[in-house]
Homo-oligomer: A and B are copies of this chain.
Amino acid sequence: MEALPTPPARIADVAARAGVGIATVSRVVNDRGNVAGPTRERVLEAIRALEYRPSSVAQNLSLKRTLVIGVVLPFLTEASPIERVRGVVTALASSPYDVALYDVESADRQQRAFRLLADAHRTDGLLLVSLIPPDEEVRRLRAASIPCVLIDARHDGLPSVVIDDIAGGELATQYLLELGHRRIAFIGDKPADPFRFQSSRDRTIGYERALESAGIPIRPEYVREGTQSRHVARSIADELLQLPERPSAVFAASDVQALGVLEAARGLRIDVPEQLSVIGFDDIEIASYVGLTTVRQRLFESGQRGAELLLQALAGQPPPAHVETLPLDLVVRGTTRPAR
C-alpha cells in the first residue's frame, strides 16, 4: 500500500468538494467572517477528507508577510552566540514566527546575508547578533520598513540590546583590586577582526579606568591581545606569567580566554587561586564546571529580549527604548582569592 505522490489539495479542491466558493473556504479556515453552521461543517468535512493545508507561500504573497524572522550572526562556532540564539528561539516559540539562521563567518557570507536582508520579502524582521550592518543596508531596511533589532551591537537609529562593556571591565578589575591585587594583567580580543565591534576594546577601557581610579599605573606589558581562542590565550598567558614581575591576577576578556590562562598556569605549575587569580567574562557553561570566577553577561536573555523587542515592532508598536542595557553580575567562584 504505497502512498503515491498525490498533489496536495488546493483551496479550490476543497471548495469544489464542499460545493461552495473559495471565499467561503478561506473564511472557514481563517475563522473570519460569518459562515452558516451547516456550510462550515461541509467545508470542514472536505478539508478533513482532502487533508487540505493552506499553502503558506501563497498566504505569504497574499498577505505580504513571511512569518519568518532572520537571525544573522557570526561565529556560530562559539558558545556565546549560541546561547543568544537559544534565547531567540525560546522567545519566538510561542509566536507565529519561524527562525531562519544565517551564519556569516566569512566576509562574502556576510555579503550574501546582507544581500538577503535587502530582499524586502524574505523575512518580516531581522535580528542582528554581534554585527553592525552597513549604513546602506540600514537605509534599505528602513525603506522597506523591515524592523530590525541589534543584539550585542549598536547602530544609530536601531533599537538594540547590549551590555555596558566598560562597566563590565571595571567590575572585574575592581573586584581584583578589592582583593588586594596590584599587578593585574589583561588579555583582550584582537580588534583586527572585521566583524568585531568594540566589546573587547571597551572592556580594556573599563580595566584601565579601574586601575586609574585606584591610582595604579597601567603597565603596557600587562595588556595583551589575541584572537578569541583558548590556544592563543594560553600562549599569551605563558609569556605573561613568565615576566620578571609576574602578575598576581589576570582578567581575560572572555571565559574561553580565561580557560587558556588556567591551562598556562597549570603548565607552569602556578597554583590557581593561591598564586594567581583569574577572572573571565561571559559565564559560559564550562565556567561553572571549572569553577571560574567571571562577569556574567546574560546571553540567553539578550536573545530573548531582542526577540521580544522585535516582536513588539512587528506588532506595530515602536520599540520602547532605543538601547536596552542588560545588567552584568560578578560571579565569584574558585579562581580568585585575596592577594597575599
Contacts and interface: CB of A to CB of B under 8 A. Distances in A.
Contacts of A285: 79, 286
Given A5-B142, A8-B144, A93-B103, A119 B53 contact: yes
A185 interface: no
A48 interface: no
A142 B77 CA distance: 34
A140 B82 contact: no
A145 B5 contact: yes
Contacts of A66: 57
Interface in A74-127: 76-77, 79, 82, 85-86, 89-90, 93, 98-103, 109, 118-122
A68 B103 contact: no
Nearest to A8: B120
A101 B103 contact: no
A170 B93 CA distance: 39
Nearest to A65: B57
Contacts of A98: 100-102, 122
A1 to B, nearest CB: 10
Contacts of A100: 68, 98-101
Nearest to A89: B103
A80 to B, nearest CB: 12
